[in-house]
Amino acid sequence: MKIDCHVHSEMHSVHGEAVPFDCQMFLNDLRAAGLDGAALFSPNPLTCDKIPAEERMTNTLNMCKGEKTLFPLYWINPLEDDALEQVDMAVERGFLGFKMICSNYHPGCRESMDLLEKIASVNKPVLFHSGILWDGMNSANYNRPGNFEALLDVPKLRFCLAHVSWPWTDECIAVYGKFNNAYFRRPDLSCEMFIDVTPGTPRVYREEVFRHLLCSDYELRYNLMFGTDCSTDGYNVAWSKEWQKRDNELYAKFIENDVEDFKEHVYGKNFLRFLGLSDECPVKKIPMVGE
């Protein structure tokens, strides 16, 4: 199964008034791009702050209803007073994970850490934006990958940094190495980091970033995920196919062992494991000093 792990859903029900969503057209677009399914993020709570959480949840769940290859992730803001209650509500209603963007808070702030501990306690993952954020605000310092080291203190958390943290891609790779090493040193925590290769990276930098990413000494076969940053309204088939083509050429160039297996993991298997829907237990090389 090939999955786009990074798709934004639009509001299709505002204050109880339904706005049509053509699910079949969306699925047809995915298939035209060579994909079988997608993760759908619920709408941004900051831009939909007057729309209740329950309504944002219902909107996205209705879009995924009855479709086994559409995976709903709830976009949550830890600064909302009822954020912890929203976790329980989202899980009870069928969300498979969470989406967070640190627009106006640090990932290691108390509200964020309390929320992440709650999410980890119910065995759900979190996909974060990481890197420069096109939000029109002074938010870069909230999204530096090094700031996510704070998540080492959240036992059993599975999380993902999107966009390879562009432009701090080397820092993102180093943080990934640290989390792998921390797993070896602190197996009781077993906090695991994934990387979403959704662009982010401008075309001209893609090969450089993938060279650093794929030629590092870190085992990434089981922790990279493919995404596009497209929307449910008018999924951009040409964009999705372009990035798949470019990335596949780079995998063929840089992956020495079983590139087809590598791509199967990047395009689907890793995302299913991220969600807890796979029983695969990969044995990964742990980076050690002096090796």
Tell me: the pLDDT tens digits for 107-163? 999 999 999 999 999 999 999 999 998 888 888 899 999 999 999 999 999 999 999
Our CA dihedral for 216, 220, 223, 228, rounded to 10 degrees, sits at 70
Supply angle C-alpha 51, 39, 168, rounded to 5. 95
Residue 183 in domain: yes
Three-point CA angle 93, 98, 103, nearest 5°:
135
Q: Which residue is listed with tokens 């990387």? A: 195
> Mean pLDDT across the stretch 100-111?
96
Residue 7 DSSP code:
E
**Residue 284 domain-assigned (yes or no):** no
CATH of the domain at 87: 3.20.20.140
Structure pTM? Answer: 0.95
pLDDT of residue 242: 98
Please report the pLDDT score of residue 248 as a whole number: 98
The yes-or-no verdict on residue 16 having pLDDT over 60 is no
**Which domain, by its residues, includes 120?**
3-275
The pLDDT value recorded for residue 169 is 97
The answer to whether residue 32 sits within a structural domain is yes
Domain count, the chain: 1
Residues comprising the chain, all counted: 291
| Assigned token pair, 19 | 């706005």
Tokens for 193, please give them.
């980091």
- Confidence band (pLDDT; 50, 70, 90) for 187? confident
Domain membership of residue 179 (yes or no) is yes
Per DSSP, 107 falls in state: T
> Does a structural domain hold residue 280?
no
CB under 8 Å to 7, separation ≥6 — which residues? 38, 39, 40, 41, 227, 228, 229, 230, 231, 232, 235
291 within domain boundaries: no
Pairing mode, if any, of strands 17-18 and 13-14?
antiparallel
Specify if 290 maps to a domain. Answer: no
The whole-chain average pLDDT of the chain stands at 93
Tell whether 282 is covered by a domain.
no
Averaged pLDDT for residues 34-53: 92
pLDDT exceeds cutoff 90 at 72: yes
DSSP-assigned states of every residue in 135-162: SSSS-GGGG-GGGGGGGGGSTT-EEEEE
pLDDT confidence band for 289 (50 / 70 / 90)? low
Q: Which two tokens stand for residue 132?
A: 């420069």
